[in-house]
Structure 1
């Protein structure tokens, strides 16, 4: 994961510097670069407007740099990246040319009364992007990743290189990963077969029967005390019913540790 992207300003309540700081620490361990991005909207191109748009880009870059000046970059290359247009369109376009390996997001943090875990834009990124996403809880401080809990329904992973991010994390930190397979009411016989590529990177395996995958995760989080929770985004996987909406409510899901979301199938 050499290129890590952190979007700024996804909501007026979001604490952005916390997740930028986390991304810097992670990039230091992985030997990566952090791109901190904020979008700006260009004016229609006519007459002298290209000059105005150039200025808007420079102003956006300066705004990013000003926020980054408060952080210790720890020798990591941190790039201020102003992007034109809408974030959901600008990130995939930038990714095609620069191969972003991970997007770091934060949850909504409007306090206890805020009902959302993910807002409209961040939820849309989780739902629609091809890029792995790491959601870092509010005020969560970076620490070495020693234990990972991966939660799955099906042991079949069809997406090519889907496991690459977690493999790199496990190798970099010398971490161990426990696989939790939750058997819900729609569990199929073929789901029990664990793909060989996945089987080679797990240190232990446990199965449980629960109404939902999330309930299974909650049941085992306290017992395992992982530093990272890893799940797959797919039609019959984690968040399956949550994909219908872009926003995700805290009553449906909330994580107190970093959550890595991988793309499990097309």
Structure 2
């Protein structure tokens, strides 16, 4: 049974992501593993005028995590919900866990706000998506789970054999039973090359058993184009593959993908080539 790993920091955004992950697990099977990476605070709160000890603070977080796990288990008794707490930095802990466990993917929340707020609130989620080898499913702060019937795979039709993790995409399609939409956003054919038809044919061969729909979105703003398409065709999940050279390059330096993660109306799964 594959594990869906959900980091919890007890914010409303992370709790919503955990709720989303629970419903996803209900659709596809698998178990939920909640984890909290504990970092000792610089200042400890006061309780009845006395500062809480480091051991006491850690115990508080442990009980909070257990409470969240129990609440989720009550909502879906047939889904196995486990929880773990570790000392250390979130990215380091997750990297170790994904190497040691059979993790299908990580689910994290993100808060879309003004540019300044994004820089800080999204830092953990973006760092995890950048560093972890397994896919990271990023859930907008107000997203409510809807059964996944349609999945959109974004591509620029460049080096598709090397860059598209077709085995992961295929596993998602099989586990959800969703329809596949292959999406290319290219304003006035600026990304078009002589190799584009050949690469497009490779993608068609790659996923031919799923009979995907192909859509070429002529929009200068990639995020706006994908959101419009997702809303029009009821896409419940967008898949993106950050690369060093393509349309969604430089994921963590103000690029299209970073904008998409912060401003998408639907959850976005980041997969590495």
Structure 1 residue 205 and structure 2 residue 206: aligned?
Answer: no
| TM-score normalised by L of structure 2 | 0.76
**Quick check: 1:148–1:178 contact (8 Å CA) kept in 2?**
yes
Cα distance, 1:32 vs. partner?
0.8
Matched, 1:116 2:153: no
Task: Judging by fraction of residues, say which structure has more helix.
Answer: 2
1:130 CA drift (Å): 1.3
1:190 pairs with one of 155, 170, 195: 195
Distance 2:141 2:170 in 1: 25
CA contact (8 A) 2:95 2:131 kept: no
Structure 1 residues 52-63: aligned runs within 5 Å: 60-63=61-64
User: Relative to 1, partners in 2 of residues 1:91 and 1:166: Cα closer, same or farther, differing over 3 Å?
Assistant: same
How many aligned positions are there? 251
Structure 1 residues 132 and 202: alpha-carbon distance in aligned structure 2, compared to 1, 3 A threshold = farther
Matched, 1:85 2:88: yes
Matching residue of 1:132: 135
Question: Where does residue 158 of structure 1 map in the other structure?
Answer: 162
Instruction: Please show how residues 54-73 of structure 1 align to structure 2 within 5 Å.
Output: 60-71=61-72, 72-73=75-76
1:243 equivalent to 2:252? Answer yes
- Alpha-carbon RMSD: 3.4
Bigger mean CA deviation after superposition, 71-80 or 254-263: 71-80
Task: Name structure 1 gaps, 5 residues minimum.
Answer: 43-51
SS of 1:229's equivalent in the other structure is: strand
Identify the residue that residue 8 of structure 1 maps to in structure 2: 8
Pick closer, same or farther for the CA change 1:187–1:73 going to 2, 3 Å. same
Give TM-score, length-normalised by structure 1.
Answer: 0.78
Measured after TM superposition, the shift of residue 55 of structure 1 is 7.9
Contact kept? 1:40, 1:82, Cα under 8 Å: yes
Deviation at 1:217, TM superposition (A): 1.9
Larger deviation, residues 87-96 vs 191-200: 191-200
In the TM superposition, residue 29 of structure 1 has moved relative to its aligned partner by: 2.3
1:35 paired residue number: 33
Report if the CA contact (8 A) 2:104-2:135 is conserved: yes
- Match of 1:146? 149
1:214·1:253 contact (CA, 8 Å) conserved in 2?
no
